[in-house]
Amino acid sequence: MSFAALWESLLPVGRDGGTGGYRRFSWTPADAECRRWFFTAAEERHLRADTDRNGNLWAWWDPPGIVDPGAGPGAVVTGSHLDSVPDGGAFDGPLGVVTAFAAIDLLRERGVAPSRPLAVAAFCEEEGARFGVACLGSRLLAGAIGPDRARGLRDRDGTTFAEAMTAAGRDPAAIGPDPGLVAGIAAYVELHIEQGRALADTDAAIGVAERIWPHGRWRLTFTGRADHAGTTRLGDRRDPMLACAAAILAARGAAARQGAMATVGKVIAEPGAVNAISSSVTAWLDARAPDEAHLHSVVERVLAQARAAATAQGVGLDASQESVTPAVDFDAALRDRLVATLAAAGIPAPVLPTGAGHDAGVLAARVPAGMLFVRNPTGVSHSPAEHAEPGDCATGVTALAAVLADLACS
Ligand code: GLV
Ligand code: MN
Ligand code: MN
């Protein structure tokens, strides 16, 4: 099956008819449909598919003639994720998974077979859209988050990760680090749509990742006093929304001063009445910076200003860190090898840093990892408008096939 047919078969899954955006949240019916799609794609290719203890999906192309794939040379793994942010685009995640299957098709068409295990992976809850911690499946696999903490993470309705897993027929008691699986991986290469415009005005359809900025998420809950919007004198109010608004503006100011990024993209006001002062407002701060010193300086400044605003408004503030991912410098030898392989295939690929988080960044702490980016003409991502041209996706398949041939088939 060509890239286009495989891509089309996934497109309707979890797409909202109104916005055109994707709502593929872990352990929901849309997620189950994505998982079925993965198993079908694997089955059509006679790949050995399974779900690991942490809910990540794997489709293995075992090297011909090797009876015990676990005992031979380390595996080369490619893939990405199938979950989305709320109203996300079609490409962030799925492009890496569809391209991986299409690259296997291309290798087979060329009569190329692996000399070591080659796997396509789709990691669980990469976006953290339902349970708050990004790259949860790869973090669990790599031991970058404790299983108890992961089991207890709650979604917006109070359902825990453990409960959601159980409802989906998986065993949450089994989650946690999987050193055996990790030890069997010789390299992980993730192809991803570029989430910026570094390639947009160049002749290059493909880039190679250099590093990922350190980034993290913080939850700020401002607690005030619910009261009547029409009768409570302004001076008598304890309005948490005002302190939250000050914190949001502080985030923008701190990011601008420090050459960083800081975003509040999610705010929940309780009880959420138009004609009442809120009793509480929770805001999530996403902060990213070129280095850890700048990241922590941005967050400290935002928290200091949030505390000052809370005091001024007479409201409480509870601030907690939900996740932090340190800076990732991708394996230099693998990165240079990717660039050289692509150059030999006639695909010039500039080396780019990124502010976006990826499972490859988490796995980089345990195995040599690298990334290929596919050009995004507008740079828009985490939006229904996210797009890559079909010709660039085709180049992505060719590029990934060249990389897999070099790493797994030589
Ligand atoms: C994932 O896309 C992230 O960077 O948050
Ligand atoms: Mn994303
Ligand atoms: Mn992604």
pLDDT tens string 44-86:
999 999 999 999 999 999 988 776 767 778 999 999 999 999 9
Contacts (Cβ under 8 Å, ≥6 apart) of 27: 55, 130, 164, 165, 167, 168, 170
Q: Tell me if 134 sits within 8 A of 56, measured CB to CB.
A: no
The closest alpha carbon to 122, from 206, 26, 23, 6, belongs to 26
pLDDT tens digits, one per residue of 251-270: 999 999 999 999 999 999 99
Tell me whether the omega of the peptide bond preceding residue 271 falls within 30 degrees of 0, making it cis.
Answer: yes
pLDDT tens digits, one per residue of 314-349: 999 999 999 999 999 999 999 999 999 999 999 999
Instruction: Give residue 207 CA to ligand 3 midpoint distance, Å.
Output: 15
Residue bearing the CA closest to ligand 1, atom 5: 357
Q: Tell me if 81 sits within 8 A of 122, measured CB to CB.
A: yes
Instruction: Give residue 181 CA to ligand 1 midpoint distance, Å.
Output: 25
Dist. CA 299–CA 24, nearest whole Å: 30
Measured at the alpha carbon of residue 266, what is the angle toward residues 261 and 269, in degrees to the nearest 5?
A: 135
Q: Residue 65: its pLDDT value, please? A: 77
**Mean pLDDT value of segment 160-182:** 98
> Which residue in this structure is represented by tokens 């199938």?
82
Residue 284 has pLDDT above 60, yes or no: yes
Is the CB of 134 within 6 Å of ligand 1?
Answer: yes
Name beta bridge partners: 207: 373
Instruction: Give residue 193 CA to ligand 3 midpoint distance, Å.
Output: 8
pLDDT tens digits, one per residue of 285-318: 999 999 999 999 999 999 999 999 999 999 999 9
**Mean pLDDT value of segment 163-179:** 98
Share of the chain above pLDDT 90, in %: 97
pLDDT tens digits, one per residue of 376-405: 999 999 999 999 999 999 999 999 999 999
Burial of 116 (0-12, 13-18, 19+ CB in 10 A): buried
Dist. CA 199–CA 179, nearest whole Å: 36
Dist. CA 130–CA 143, nearest whole Å: 20
Is the CB of 356 within 6 Å of ligand 1?
Answer: yes
Is the CB of 357 within 6 Å of ligand 1?
Answer: yes
- Predicted confidence band at 127 (pLDDT cuts at 50, 70, 90)? very high
Smallest-distance ligand from the CA of 354: 1
Residue 1 has pLDDT above 70, yes or no: no
Q: What value does the mean pLDDT of the chain take?
A: 97
